[in-house]
Amino acid sequence: MDCIIEAGVIFCGVTKDGTPDLRHDAAMRIHDGRIAHVGAVEAVVSGNAHLPRHGGPGFVAMPGLANGHHHFGLTPLMMGVPFAPLELWLPQFRGMRSIGPRLDMLYSAIEMLESGTTTVHHIASGLVGDPANWQAATDEVLRAYREIGMRAGYSFMMRDRNVLTYEDDAEVLKSLPTDIAEQVALSLKAAEVPTLDYMAFFKETRQRWSGEAGDHLRFNLAPANLHWCSDESLQLIFETARSHGAQVHMHLLETQRQAQFAQNRFGHSAVEHLAALECMGPELTLGHGNWMTRRDLDLVAECGCTICHNASSGLRLGSGIAPVNEMRRREIPVALGIDQSNIADDRDMLLEMKLVWALHRETGMWNDRPDAGAVLQMATEHGVRTAGFGKIAGRLEPGFAGDVVLLDRARLERPYVDRRVPISETILHRGNRSAIDKVFVGGEMVVENGRACRIDRDAVMAEIVDRLKAPETEPERRARETVAALMPHLEAFHRRHTPPDPVASYRFNAMND
């Protein structure tokens, strides 16, 4: 993990006034996984000529990117789930085939690393069945992240009510034909877990991995959403997180129906309800936030929360567009997440950043909008903080982790970019996988010549294909058929209980007033 990384330009991060912090014709010395020295090449190399050297004057170095909101590997589209509004999309996951936690995780990790993402907040979709299986599945995921070399914050989604819709599950089951209701009830029963049991599992797992985690793992908590969690569950989760110094990541106001749920149930917004429960603070990241009002954003800013913006997800599912410019006006830190997959159905954060930049241009000649530096900061400093690594990663400066992406400048600028163009603009607008030469996590090379190098990536891909070419198992067939039978009834239930969506400006969502 000791080495020297040289570059014609080092993008160290963004300064407090929003300008890029750059070093030209410079190098970094990595010692024990941390950056020990950043300076002129001659000064860094002096006395350290024995260390491995990477890069050179023809490269651009930047901090590793962070995917602040990730669930699982093979995408729903790949597994046969068609796009639909969130409420009609999620239930269909119950019919997807599984390739096992390790292969599934490695698939998405390969995509992330090869596009420059070194840190991820992995939000497991849920722990069900025998608690012994929770530990086995969790350990497989954590070992796989360690195997491929990524830095990961780990959490698991928790629900204790309204799993199927925004209404009580018992009411939904009563509306279903008996045979379908019986099958669905069995799966719901397997997911019935007291929040106290989840908290015990969180503490045990955190303690058990403490000797191996080091700087590469953090353990966080993820209450699924307001309509999925009772007040008592939320308060217990936040109490546990605060007593253990953990981050909390909570989906909130992803769709217009979620905003309506809070108003109908509590008479005020979801954010106001969290504030009343004293469940907001600097440890909290709110995923999505597409339907926040100005009053909501004021509360978020006052409490010091972060928002994870999942731009591709909001567009692909028709969930909405988060009011990022309003967030930035209030100095709310905004991180970026790819969620299930981005606009190209993969985990390329370089592509997601381009979408975020374009999506929040807004019309007008003089309005404030995110520039390249701001978007890079969302995808580095702000993202690593939400995963639990804010004190050690996200910048390239002494004391920080050696999480570095080396871009080949010739490929980045092919065939030519005028030297007047700021390097941050070049990285954002022209950066793509083909320009990535090497990626380091804690000074250890995890991508070489653009390919993940700590595992046999081709063997992983081949094993995935072999698993999915095999015939369905009997449980897989039953799950698929149950979901197919369930969906028309679930859609009918939503139609009876969900008022017609009011016509609103898609671009500004809740900000159109």
* 330/327 Cα distance (integer angstroms): 5
125 shares its domain with 218? yes
Structure tokens at 493: 């239930």
Q: List, for residues 185-241, the tens digit of each pLDDT value.
A: 998 988 889 999 999 999 999 999 987 767 999 999 999 999 999 999 999 999 999
251 shares its domain with 368? yes
pLDDT of residue 503: 53
* 369/465 Cα distance (integer angstroms): 43
Beta bridge partners of 217: 152
Tally of CB atoms within 10 A around 468 = 14
Nearest in space to 328 (alpha carbons), one of 353, 358, 306: 306
Contact call for residues 453 and 157 (beta carbons, < 8 A): no
Beta bridge partners of 67: 120
* 284/266 Cα distance (integer angstroms): 21
Question: Where are the extended beta strands (E) located within 188-314?
Answer: 217-219, 222-223, 248-252, 284-288, 306-309
CATH number at residue 26: 2.30.40.10
Q: List, for residues 415-446, the tens digit of each pLDDT value.
A: 999 999 999 999 999 999 999 999 999 999 99
Contact call for residues 125 and 253 (beta carbons, < 8 A): no
422 shares its domain with 337? no
Q: Is the pLDDT of residue 512 over 80?
A: no
296 shares its domain with 378? yes
10 shares its domain with 40? yes
Question: Residue 347's Cα: distance from chain center in Å?
Answer: 10
End-to-end CA distance of the chain, in Å? Answer: 53
* 353/427 Cα distance (integer angstroms): 10
Beta bridge partners of 221: 248
233 shares its domain with 277? yes
- Expressed as residue numbers, the domain containing 439 is 3-63+399-456
Q: Is the pLDDT of residue 464 over 90?
A: yes
pLDDT of residue 501: 65
Total count of domains within the chain: 2
* 237/511 Cα distance (integer angstroms): 31
DSSP state of 24: E
pLDDT class for 480, splitting at 50, 70, 90?
Answer: very high
Contact call for residues 224 and 234 (beta carbons, < 8 A): no
Structure tokens at 174: 């009563």
Among left, alpha and beta (phi > 0; psi -120 to 50; other), residue 70 is beta
Whether 465 is covered by a domain: the verdict is: no
* 113/118 Cα distance (integer angstroms): 6
**Tokens 């860094």, located at residue:** 44
Cα Rg of the chain (Å, integer): 23
152 shares its domain with 297? yes
Tally of CB atoms within 10 A around 499 = 8
Instruction: Return the SS3 of 84.
Output: coil
* 82/93 Cα distance (integer angstroms): 10
Q: List, for residues 351-380, the tens digit of each pLDDT value.
A: 999 999 999 998 889 989 999 999 999 999
Whether 93 is covered by a domain: the verdict is: yes
Question: Where are the extended beta strands (E) located within 15-80?
Answer: 20-31, 34-40, 53-63, 65-70
233 shares its domain with 350? yes
Peptide bond connecting 223 to the previous residue in cis, omega within 30 degrees of 0 = no
Whether 497 is covered by a domain: the verdict is: no
* 475/129 Cα distance (integer angstroms): 15
Q: Is the pLDDT of residue 114 over 60?
A: yes
**Tokens 């941050």, located at residue:** 424
Q: Which amino acid is at 157?
A: M
Instruction: Return the SS3 of 54.
Output: strand
Q: Which of 175-179, 188-192, 317-321 has the lowest mean pLDDT?
A: 188-192
Average pLDDT in the chain: 95
pLDDT above 70 covers a percentage of the chain that reads: 97
326 shares its domain with 233? yes
312 shares its domain with 299? yes
Query: How many residues are given for the chain?
Result: 513
Whether 240 is covered by a domain: the verdict is: yes
Whether 467 is covered by a domain: the verdict is: no
pLDDT of residue 126: 79
Contact call for residues 66 and 117 (beta carbons, < 8 A): yes
pLDDT of residue 507: 53
Q: ∠ CA(488), CA(493), CA(496), 5° rounding?
A: 125
